Amino acid sequence: MTASSAVKAALATQAIETPSWAYGNSGTRFKVFAREGVPRTPREKLEDAARVHELTGAAPSVALHIPWDRVDDYAALATFAKDLGLRLGTINSNVFQDDDYRLGSVCHPDPRVRRKALDHLLECVDIMDATGSRDLKLWFADGTNYPGQDDIRARQDRLAEALTAVYGRLGAEQRMLLEYKFFEPAFYTTDVPDWGTAYAHCLRLGERAQVVVDTGHHAPGTNIEFIVAVLLREGKLGGFDFNSRFYADDDLMVGAADPFQLFRIMHEVIGGGGFVPDVAFMLDQCHNIEPKIPAIIRSVMNVQEATAKALLVDREALSAAQSTGDVLGANAVLMDAYNTDVRPLLAELREERGLDPDPIAAYRRSGWAERIVAERRGGEQAGWGA
């Protein structure tokens, strides 16, 4: 009873940022499947995001991707968002979709290209100033495809130089979140391939440089919750890009491939003191074949369910079992929480907050899906690179 109330109270504070690009078309290198009703403008993306927040009560902010979400007037976009009950969140830079970036951006051997990339990053900070965003998320597609193609250390030097310049430009309340990725699109070296590299750079930069963990960006078998625990212990966990994977960076709905892993991650977040606004919970998914909006609703719900289970862990009993070396007992405490069906608790929470207990069904009934198909005709659909 009281435990359940505490869990609900904690859940009520959880905010999950959805990415503007997940509302548009995306795909694999083989095909981007088009879908009717997909947004054509940043404003239409926000309208879709507003539905997600309206139904879940848990997705109050939207991450932008520049230049995909470039507009003339970011302040006006922020007002538009506010009127929808949203706010603009993290600004994501893009230094990979220009022919100039064939061999990299800030790590490119040519100083002209590096300058161009840096200018884009600095422009992103300008945009943050206009939107009031706290976080700049940096992901670099930089790397090489062939042994010998470029000098690994020289590229690290160039990277450090660019990061230093951008960090120096940040306002006092702004942060830089540095993402790492195991591979893709580079296939031999990636310039920030693992948390260690991101951590080493952030450490030199300063307090407001933090590491972001994308759950799809690791080598096979990597224990992600260990990384989360270590980064929290070091004070360097800036946030998450949630999605799920069976093989590589599959970018499926978070919680779809390994719900137990998501639970273990949330268990470390809570145990490590990471269930605070300083750790940004973001989705970063790429919906290839399923309808966008309900997939995002589902993802938000999956994060909530994993969080609820993690909040239910009897930490006192867990500590007791751990400290006496009771392997099976300690594991059982964790599994008891995981095996609990938290859907009733979340339905209750939603009803207490005036929401429909079943957001997916409510979305279906809302007619929004039909409406956007009818209204969004003509124009160019939003998508990767559009």
Ranges within 137-196 binding its own copies (CB under 8 A) = 141, 145-154, 156-157, 182-185, 187-190, 193-196
345, two tokens: 């608790």
Would you count residue 381 as binding its own copies (CB under 8 A)? no
CB of 102 to its own copies, least distance (A): 5
CB of 174 to its own copies, least distance (A): 25
Would you count residue 373 as binding its own copies (CB under 8 A)? no
214, two tokens: 């994308």
Residue 83 or 348: which CB sits closer to its own copies?
348
288 HSE (CA, 13 A, CB side) = 11
Query: DSSP per residue over 114-181, as a string?
Result: HHHHHHHHHHHHHHHHHHT--EEEE----EESSTTSS-HHHHHHHHHHHHHHHHHHS-TT-EEEEE--
Residues 27-86 that bind its own copies (CB under 8 A): 27-31, 33-34
CB of 68 to its own copies, least distance (A): 12
Residue 4 or 197: which CB sits closer to its own copies?
197
119, two tokens: 């200018």
Residue 49 or 227: which CB sits closer to its own copies?
227
- CA pair distance 240, 307, nearest whole angstrom: 14
Burial of 296 (0-12, 13-18, 19+ CB in 10 A): buried
CB of 117 to its own copies, least distance (A): 14
Residue 172 or 328: which CB sits closer to its own copies?
328
Residue 60 or 294: which CB sits closer to its own copies?
294
Query: DSSP per residue over 248-296, as a string?
Result: SS--BPTTSS-HHHHHHHHHHHHHTT--STTSEEEE----SSS-HHHHH
CB of 75 to its own copies, least distance (A): 30
- CA pair distance 382, 40, nearest whole angstrom: 5
Residue 233 or 377: which CB sits closer to its own copies?
233
CB of 57 to its own copies, least distance (A): 20
3-state secondary structure (DSSP) of residue 19: strand
Would you count residue 327 as binding its own copies (CB under 8 A)? yes
Residues 224-243 that bind its own copies (CB under 8 A): 225-227, 229-230, 232-234
